[in-house]
Amino acid sequence: MIYMDNVKGNSLIKIPWFNLAVFFLITILAYWIDLRGTGFAHLFAPITGVGDAVGGLDRLLLGAAIGIAVVADMHAILILSKRYQVVLIWIELLIIFLSFFYSFGLDYGFIQKKIGFMITQGAVTTLYISAISISIAFVLALIGAIAKLSSNTFAIAIANFYTSFFRGLPLLVQVYLLYLGLPQMGWVIDAIPAGVIALSLCYGAYMTEIFRAGITSIDRGQWEAARGLALNNFQTMRLIILPQAMRVIIPPTGNQFIAMLKDSSLVSVLGVWELMFLARTQGQTQFKHFEMLITAALIYWVLSMGLEMIQSRIERKFKKVH
């Protein structure tokens, strides 16, 4: 019964031709990858006892074994409940992902020596810059959205110019313009403040449209009811409109924060010791660039997953409240 219940949404897997198609596809793919020199034979050598120097038939048999294993794995996963299916698929994909990195022959001792500094200095600085920037961008977006929805022509024009300009220029150009341009006007600014301002202005422009969409999603009757309660515009926005609009605003705003976390790497061009800057510089003396780039990539991924979990908790909170 458990198998039949779980297989309802995966009925294709029960069809023989689908299983055959998956088997042949995986077999050919595994054979082609190994033929290109990636070395499945090398990865599976401890298990199969077959060395790197394998012939075409050995590669084909190894590919067929992988194809059979994949098809059998698909059916085995269906025995579990849906929640455990997702967890198991995640684990398997992670193993494949790490096996891909294992084939690069990385210096793991060097990574172990540097990863602590990458986290305590690089990741902390990245989060620090991103957190301040998203907070400022949140305020700018709210002001911009209200200005666009107002009846004031000057406010509408300024808000439209702001969103058009900062969404139209590449973020890297904005970083350079602020860091190198403001001193031309007599305002010398450090690297971190310049990066924070650039990120805030850029993402504030994008988030302005998110806030505008969230506010306009609330029925006009809510505004009329607020007027009937003698609430002014500020009270209406704070007590009635925004709490409801947050259900629409939170998901894309969370995505923007995750995107900002990665775009903060552009601040490294100013010499800020954030994650990407350290990834580029720590491996230079021993030519371990790839080790540091992969380490930075995994740290970014872990940070992004953490933010995704926080975002999902906030979304559930607003769904319960409203």
Sorted by where each starts, the structural domains of the chain and their CATH numbers stand as 2-102 (no CATH), 109-321 (1.10.3720.10)
Please list the ranges in the chain whose pLDDT falls under 70: 1-63, 65-67, 69, 71, 73, 75-77, 103, 320-322
Residue 123 pLDDT: 92
Read off the amino acid at residue 242: L
Residue 27 pLDDT: 63
Q: Check: CB of residue 118 under 8 Å from CB of residue 279.
A: yes
Residue 3 pLDDT: 41
Record the tokens describing residue 39, joined without a space: 């070395």
Residue 236 pLDDT: 84
Q: Please give the model's pTM, rounded to 2 decimal places.
A: 0.75
Q: Check: CB of residue 106 under 8 Å from CB of residue 283.
A: no
Produce one character per residue of 179-206: b if its CB has 16 or more CB atoms within 10 Å, e if not: beeeeeeeeebebbebbbbbbbbbbbbb
Residue 1 pLDDT: 36
Residue 220 pLDDT: 81
Residue 49 pLDDT: 46
Record the tokens describing residue 65, joined without a space: 């074994």
Q: Check: CB of residue 240 under 8 Å from CB of residue 247.
A: no
